[in-house]
Structure 1
Amino acid sequence: MKQVIAARTDIGMGQGKLAAQVAHASLNAYEYTDDRAVRRWKDEGQTKVVVKVGSERELYERSEEAKRAGLPTGLISDAGRTQLEPGTPTALAIGPAPDADVDQITGDLSLF
C-alpha cells in the first residue's frame, strides 16, 4: 500500500508552498479512503512518494485515470493567498491503495 503525490513543476512553487500543497493533497485523498485500506496502509508504514508532473493538463489526466480505476484521489487547487493565483491546480494524491494499482497511473513519473 502506498500513496503517490504528484506536484506540478511548471508553476514555480517555492519549497514551502510545494510542501504545503503535497500535504494538503495527501490528507485530502486519505479522507476519501475506506477504513480497511487506511488501517492496512498505516500498518505498512504509510508509504508516500512525491513525483513530478509538468502541466495542469497532466495533473487532470492522472486524476481522471485514478478515478476510473476506483482509487482515492485528492486534487488540490491553491487558495491564492501567497505565490499563486486563486484556483491554480497544484498537486494530486492517489491512494493509499495497493502499490501495483497506483503504479499503473504514476509509475512512469520522476521522483521529486
Structure 2
Amino acid sequence: MKQAIVARTDIGMGQGKLAAQVAHASLSAYEKADSQRQRQWKDGGQKKVVLKGESERQLHELSEIADGQGVPNALIRDAGHTQLEPGTVTALAVGPAADDRVDRITGDLSLF
C-alpha cells in the first residue's frame, strides 16, 4: 500500500506552501478511501512518495485515470490566502492503494 502525491512544478510554490499542499492532498485522499484501505495503509507505515507534476491539465488527467480505476484520489485547490490565486490546483494525491495500482497511474513521473 502506498500513496503518491503529485505536486505542480510550474507555479513557483515556496517550500512551505509545497509542504502544506502535499499534506492537504495526502489527508484528503486518505479520507476518500474505504476503512479497509485506510487501516492497511496506516498499519503498513503510511508509505508515500512526492512526484513532480508539470501542469494543472496533467493533474486532472491523472485524477480521471484514478477515478476510472477506482483508486481514491484528491485534487487540491489553494484558498489563495498567500502565494497563489484562489482556486489554483496545486497537488493531487493518488491512493492509498496497492503499490502496483498507484504505479500504473503515476509510475512515469519523477521524484520531487
Q: TM-score range by the shorter chain?
A: over 0.9
- With normalisation by structure 1, the TM-score equals 0.99
Match of 1:79 in 2: 79
- Structure 2 unpaired stretches of 5+: none
Rounded Cα–Cα distance in structure 1 between residues aligned with 2:60 and 2:37:
24
Match of 2:58 in 1: 58
Q: Cα RMSD (Å) of the superposition?
A: 0.5
SS in 1 for 2:42: helix
Match of 1:68 in 2: 68
Shift of 1:24: 0.3
Report the residue type matching 2:73 in the other structure.
Answer: T
Deviation by residue 1:41-89 (Cα, 9 ceiling, x = unmatched): 1111100100001011101000100010001011100000000000000
Sequence identity (%): 71
Rounded Cα–Cα distance in structure 2 between residues aligned with 1:55 and 1:86:
16
Runs of 4+ more than 3 Å apart? none
Rounded Cα–Cα distance in structure 2 between residues aligned with 1:99 and 1:30:
15
Match of 1:46 in 2: 46
Match of 1:106 in 2: 106
- Structure 1 unpaired stretches of 5+: none
Matched, 1:6 2:6: yes
